[in-house]
Amino acid sequence: MTLRIGIDLGGTKIEGIALDETGNELARRRIETPRNDYAATVAAIVGLVHYLEETTHRHGTIGMGIPGAISPATDLVKNANSTWLIGKPLHKDLKQQLGREVRIANDANCFAVSEAVDGAAKGVHVVFGVIVGTGCGGGVCVDGRTLIGVNAIGGEWGHNPLPWPNTDELPGPKCYCGKHNCIETWLSGTGFARDYLDHTQQKLKGAEIVALAEQGEANALAALERYEDRMARALASIINILDPDVIVLGGGMSNVKRLYENVPRLWGQYVFSDRVDTRLVAPVHGDSSGVRGAAWLWD
Ligand SMILES: [Zn+2]
């Protein structure tokens, strides 16, 4: 009997899941991430795997999603917003302590895999998964497998510049990566709230602005319309390169229902094609996508 263990290593929590061969959940546990303590983070992951195997009385394959990537050149963690992981030999240490290979991918890649295997993009050829939450990450999945890439940055388009910028969008907000006008600074929930603040001098959370828009408040509606056009432009640049069957949204902004209608209505003017059959869809597994996708890294 196959057991697939998936671990989702986040900045505030670590979640583990055990799936049987058909994707049924056999066990699950969520623990706090030992923030700023690398050795304790490794120990917590190892403990979680042991718990899942003891609970199910089986030995499993292990996949893990991280907020970053393992550099193919050095085998060390890079690009992680959980900064205490950067430069650490997480892959090697887990392999050693667990006595087997551990497959590690970016959390947005895991999200895309989960939705491609048995979620909103089940059975299609090419899926682009986008997480628009605190940040903005992307991942590519082809025929149910994650496309990690030679630099392990496949799908990472959040730090490309916002395409087809309007003059009032330039030079654009400064990003933590050191550049201006990154897609993340516009499409993350944080970026959406900042854009509203810039236009109204009112500091609200993303969900509060969306609620105001639903009541028909003009400034909030205008902010959402700007957001939709920016998302249409950012995703059109992906469609022009990958031509995916489905784009799945995850993260806090994926709860905004009107995006699924309005963004595809807008992206046609930016995509180089007579028509666009790519579908923009909401996730099926929601918050569980990361941990399920990690388990599916072993197919
Ligand atoms: Zn950036």
Q: What is the pLDDT along the chain (299 residues), one digit of tens a residue?
A: 789 999 999 888 999 999 999 999 999 999 999 999 999 999 999 999 999 999 999 999 999 999 899 999 999 999 887 889 999 999 999 999 999 999 999 999 999 999 999 999 999 999 999 999 888 999 999 999 999 999 999 999 999 999 999 999 999 999 988 999 999 999 999 999 999 999 999 999 999 999 999 999 999 999 999 999 999 999 999 999 999 999 999 999 999 999 999 999 999 999 999 999 999 999 999 889 999 999 999 98
Cα-to-centroid distance, 153 and ligand 1 (Å): 14
Query: Exposure of 166 by Cβ count < 10 A (0-12 exposed, 13-18 middle, 19+ buried)?
Result: exposed
Distance CA 173, CA 162 (A): 11
Cα-to-centroid distance, 190 and ligand 1 (Å): 13
* Helix/strand/coil for 73: coil
Cα-to-centroid distance, 80 and ligand 1 (Å): 13
Q: What is the pLDDT of residue 123?
A: 93
Cα-to-centroid distance, 175 and ligand 1 (Å): 5
Contacts of 111 (CB under 8 A, 6+ apart): 65, 129, 131, 139, 248, 250, 283, 289, 290, 293
Contact 255/25 with Cβ under 8 angstroms?
Answer: no
Cα-to-centroid distance, 55 and ligand 1 (Å): 42
Give this prediction's pTM: 0.93
Cα-to-centroid distance, 167 and ligand 1 (Å): 19
Query: Exposure of 81 by Cβ count < 10 A (0-12 exposed, 13-18 middle, 19+ buried)?
Result: middle
* Helix/strand/coil for 41: helix
Q: What is the pLDDT of residue 82?
A: 85
Cα-to-centroid distance, 18 and ligand 1 (Å): 35
C-alpha distances in Å from residue 128, one per residue of 56, 191, 210, 215, 298: 33, 21, 25, 32, 19
Cα-to-centroid distance, 176 and ligand 1 (Å): 6
Cα-to-centroid distance, 171 and ligand 1 (Å): 13
Q: What is the pLDDT of residue 134?
A: 85
Distance CA 65, CA 102 (A): 11
Cα-to-centroid distance, 86 and ligand 1 (Å): 17
The tally of CA atoms less than 13 A away on the side-chain side of residue 89 is: 6
Q: Please give the DSSP secondary-structure letter assigned to residue 257.
A: T
Q: What is the pLDDT of residue 2?
A: 86
What's the CATH number for 4-106+288-295? 3.30.420.40
Contacts of 184 (CB under 8 A, 6+ apart): 135, 136, 158, 159, 175, 191
Q: Return the ∠ at Cα 41 (arms to 44 and 100), rounded to 5°.
A: 65
Residues of each domain in the chain carrying CATH 3.30.420.40 = 4-106+288-295, 120-283
Distance CA 12, CA 245 (A): 33
Separation of CA 125 from chain center: 19
Distance CA 202, CA 293 (A): 38
Cα-to-centroid distance, 159 and ligand 1 (Å): 4
Cα-to-centroid distance, 183 and ligand 1 (Å): 7
Residues with CB under 5 A from ligand 1 (ion): 159, 175, 177, 182
Domain range 120-283, CATH class: alpha beta
